[in-house]
Amino acid sequence: MILKRWLVGDPLKTAQARYERLSKTIALAIFSSNAISSVAYATEEILLVLVLAGTAAVAWSIPVSLAILFLVLVLTISYRQIIYEYPEGGGAYIVARSNLGDRPALVAAAALMIDYVLTVAVSVAAGIAALTSAIPSLFIHREALGLVAILFIIVVNLRGVRESGKFFAVPTYFAIGGLGLLVIVGTIRSLSSSGEPPPVIDHIETEAFTMFLVLRAFAAGCAAVTGMEVISNGVKAFRQPEPKNAATTMVWMSIILASLFTGISWMAYHYGVVPKPDETVVSQLARLTFGTGLVYYAVQIGTMALLVLAANSAFAGFPHLASILARDGFMPHQMATFGDRLVFSNGIIILGFFACLLLILFQGETHALIPLYAIGVFVSFTLSQVGMVKRWLVKKGPHWQAKLIINGAGALTTGIATIIIASTKFLQGAWIVFLLITILLLMFQGIRAHYKAVREQIALDRRGARPPLPGRNIVIIPISGLNRAVVRALDFARSRPGEIRAVFVDVDPEESAKVKIQWAQWGGGVNLIALPSPYRSVLSSLLDYVEELLEKDQTTWVTVVIPEILPAKWWQGILHNQRALMLKAALLFKDRVIITDVPFHLTR
């Protein structure tokens, strides 16, 4: 408990929740870091595909980047409409559920949850890649460094939304400033330079240049728009007026994203930069622009910080989405409750666990994780836009035709992008995402079916249900001998109403005679029943006796009071209470049986 308080902080009162809301400045750092940070690897992913057809094909990175910028524009306008129409948050899940039904909504939720896990893994892996590009000696430790980074983000998020926002705001804005300086200086120099770009080593052509290759490059570059939905999922985290502040933050995020992505793509094309296995494209551009001095290292450190902290946007979106699913009965109910610091602690811990697992499975390799990326978020993009199209057709309202056109364009473009990503990345790993979406969909439906069955079974208005009649309570105390722990349990049992019986299994006549003599002195008039056991099975004899009591009268309750010795040291626990544990396990699922432990604490 002391360690928890040191790491997480003191609990916050529920009344303090309204003070945990975010300003636009802090919210931009929390919710936008994922989308903005993708500029550090989106251009590189485009080039990794195009360079397969030789460096001459790199020229297509500009048209591909322009197509992605068009997606950014469409999604920004579309999600602003969603923010105003659904100010309670929830994003694609809420939109799809209210307009398309449960199944499409659950597909959107599953896709988003997978994307959030991938966001953490990819962002951290890319951030560590930025670090190892500047300090190559750390390359072999990238997996361990990634795990440490994830654990650090988990702890900071468990401390609360406002505190994590303040902590992450400074490095996030420092990183945006560094990348912005790189883009401004590099673009000015590229536009003002009259000479040819510096020579580069031409890569060997391994694939023919085809339109399918261009589509693959587009699919890879679509990683640039992942995270754009996070603000719509967390509208309630903003200060009032929530929708207006969220929509404004969305615009600023898109402007920063578009500017940095355009600049990096242009500079990579102008300077003829191609990906290297041990150095990122951004690192190469920073060296070409600033040399290898202080500014270069500042850009690399800022990029690393932005990429690692980009995972924080997933820690803002995943727990909130999980809480909405829990509220609707599709996730365990505990996911909907706040922790000590007014955050959804369970969701934060679960997200961190699966992100660490993913990082270990893929050994911290960014390019191995990227093929799984983007497909999930584009599925949710498409479903949310289709849901909004249906909403305007049904609801109409002021300017509904213009809104319909905007969301219709969003549905069309994201739908096409989804098909392209799914078809080009399917064999590279996208099939895993579709499999996981199916598994999560079945899990959601199974949880909902269970909760529905529970409600039906415990409902007071269930057919045949009536107020219970007074029943009989038989209290039994299983003993193997007489000691102070047994006497303490007997004292507790006598303080409760009901018929009390002490029960022991007769496996040794001499020991049984001794117990009977001691019981006459210490039993306080409580009946002592000896159960025969010709096969020396203590547990089965006790279970048979309990079952016999239950069968005699269907209104009888049986309370089993178990004396337990609690040792002073933790390791001594394996030396005691093994039979009691077996008895409790056997009785746990029996109807009308109550188990009560009475501990006797040892002092040494």
pLDDT-based confidence at 440, cuts 50/70/90? very high
Per residue in 472-484, pLDDT tens? 888 999 988 888 9
Average pLDDT of span 359-385: 78
Q: Which residue carries 């990082």 as its tokens?
A: 359
Cβ atoms 352, 153 nearer than 8 A: yes
pLDDT of residue 201 exceeding 50: no
Q: What distance in Å separates the CA atoms of residue 145 and residue 130, rounded to the nearest whole number? A: 12
Per residue in 536-551, pLDDT tens? 678 888 888 898 888 8
Domain 473-601 has CATH 1.25.40.10: no
Distances (CA, A) of 296 to 134, 245, 270, 288: 9, 35, 19, 9
Q: What is the pTM of this model?
A: 0.73
Q: What is the pLDDT of residue 20?
A: 53
What is the CATH code of the structural domain delimited by 2-447?
Answer: 1.20.1740.10
Amino acid at 403: K
Per residue in 126-161, pLDDT tens? 778 777 877 888 878 888 888 888 888 888 777 665
pLDDT-based confidence at 13, cuts 50/70/90? very low
Amino acid at 117: V
Structure tokens at 570: 């933790």
Residues 6+ apart with CB under 8 A from 106: 93, 330, 440, 441, 444, 445
Q: What is the pLDDT of residue 17?
A: 43
Per residue in 320-336, pLDDT tens? 888 889 888 899 888 87
Per residue in 269-307, pLDDT tens? 888 888 887 788 888 899 888 888 889 888 888 888 887
Q: What distance in Å separates the CA atoms of residue 293 and residue 247, rounded to the nearest whole number? A: 39
Give percent of the chain with pLDDT exceeding 70. 87
Q: What is the pLDDT of residue 14?
A: 43
Residues 6+ apart with CB under 8 A from 127: 37, 149, 303, 304, 305, 306, 307, 308, 309, 310
Residues 6+ apart with CB under 8 A from 264: 39, 43, 179, 182, 183, 281, 282, 285
Q: What is the pLDDT of residue 500?
A: 92
pLDDT of residue 163 exceeding 70: no
Question: What DSSP state is assigned to residue 276?
Answer: B
Average pLDDT of span 417-432: 80
Per residue in 109-122, pLDDT tens? 998 888 888 888 88
pLDDT of residue 341 exceeding 70: no
Strands (E) in 372-483, as ranges, are: 473-478
Amino acid at 163: E
Per residue in 227-262, pLDDT tens? 788 788 778 778 888 888 998 999 999 999 999 999
Which has more confidence, 28 or 11? 28
- The domain ranges of the chain are 2-447, 473-601
